[in-house]
Structures are given as structure tokens and as C-alpha cells.
Amino acid sequence: MDVILKVLEGAKQGAAIAVKKPQFVIGRSQSCNLCAGSTAISRQHCAITRDEARVAIKDLGSRNGTLVNGNRIEGEVELTSGDEITIGPLKFLVTITPGINNAKKPEVKSVAEAVARTAQKPHIDIGDDDISQWLLGPSSALTETQTIRIDDTNAVQQLREAAEAPEEDADSSEMDTKAIDAEAQPENQSAKKSGPGKLPKLPQKPSAKDSREAAAEALRAWSRRR
């Protein structure tokens, strides 16, 4: 037969767990087949047993007890399909089928038949070997979500700082260049002021009139000497 536990309340609400082993232990201990992280659940809380004829649940001396259809059980109680099991903050719906899904089906001969067969599957079962430590309480799930959000925020902040760093370096380089230019300007101005001095003005050439008079005077002086 097939025994399925559907999670009605808890962090994994809606998930379906297939109970495949003869004894399926639920508790907070890592050695349990189904490990739940709530402190309201004992380390070895309860066990579901199954064989070819019946399915039963037994409380293992838990502190808060195991409820079947709202009633706290003592010892071992047989389960039927449709029963609700409450274990701390978790609630499961029990579904028991005679094992039709385990029977070998004929080979698929067409695409339409494959689609129809896939549609008949109500859900994807999770084996008890795959669920160790996955069923956490709401508080633990919330803490995990908050941690992820903080890490993402820090990562975004670091990326922003890394992107802004080159701009700040460029701004500082530009300020340094301006400061150097400002310091160099007085030196350039002083260099301009202290550059080579101007040459003295050359005496102006005598005009043509002065040249003629000088020539005439020289001629007269020469005539006197004779």
C-alpha cells in the first residue's frame, strides 16, 4: 500500500511525503526519518509503522504529545485514510491507497497516452530519504529569509561602492591637477615678467633733409680747407 503524509500546516505546507519504510520516525533529532526544527517537537516524537495490512502511529513519550484528529493518543493507534496528525506546529493529512500506483503499467504507445498518464499523477512524492532536516519551523524559515536579504543588501552596497570608487578617484585626480595648475600659474606669470628685457631704442635715422644739410656743410668745410 501507499502511505502519503500531506503537510497541512508548517513551513512546507502542501508538500507530500511518502512513507516507504516499515517504521517512519518523526522528531527533532537528525537521526529521524523526518527531522523538524521546532522546539515544540521532541527529539524522538512519534513513529508511523506500516505493513501489508495496516498503518499505525505511536507516540514515543513526547513532551507535547501526538494528536490524531485533535485527540491526544496513548500507545499505538491505527490510522485510516483522511486522518489528521498534529505534531507540535505541524499538521499532516494521511492518505492510504492499496498500492495501485506501484503496479507495473503497460508501455506507453502514443504521446496522447503519455500526457493522460502524466495528468493522472496528483503530486510528486518526496521520499523519506530526501527529507532529513528540510522541514523547518516558521521562525527558522523567517530567520533564513532575513539572512539572505541582509546578505543581498550588503552585496549590492559593495557593488555600488566599487562602481563609485573610480569616479571619486577621477574627481580627486582632477582636483589635484587643478591645484598643480593653480600653483604653476604664479611661476609662469613671474617667468613672463622676468623674461628677457627690451632692447634700448635705436637712434632714429636722419631724415633726407638732414642728410642734405650735413652733406652741404661737409662740402663747405672741405672748400675752406683748400
| pLDDT, mean of each 10-residue run, the chain (226 residues) | 88 87 94 89 95 94 96 95 94 86 57 60 46 46 38 51 54 53 52 54 58 74 66
pTM: 0.48
Q: How far apart are the first and last CA of the chain?
A: 162
Q: Is 92 a domain residue?
A: yes
At 64-117, the pLDDT tens digits run 999 999 999 998 999 999 999 999 999 999 999 986 544 455 665 666 666 566
The pLDDT of residue 166: 52
Q: Is 166 a domain residue?
A: no
Q: Which own/partner pairs from 27-34 qualify as long-range (CB within 8 Å, at least 24 positions apart)?
A: 27/60, 27/62, 30/132, 30/133, 32/132, 33/128, 33/131, 33/132, 34/128, 34/131, 34/132, 34/135
Q: Which domain holds residue 30?
A: 2-97
All three cell numbers of 141, joined, read: 524559515
The pLDDT of residue 41: 94
Q: Which CATH number do you get for residue 80?
A: 2.60.200.20
Domain count, the chain: 1
Q: Is 113 a domain residue?
A: no
Nearest to 103 by CA among 22, 2, 20: 2
The pLDDT of residue 37: 81
The pLDDT of residue 127: 47
Distance CA 92, CA 145 (A): 24
Contact 27, 36 (CB under 8 A): yes
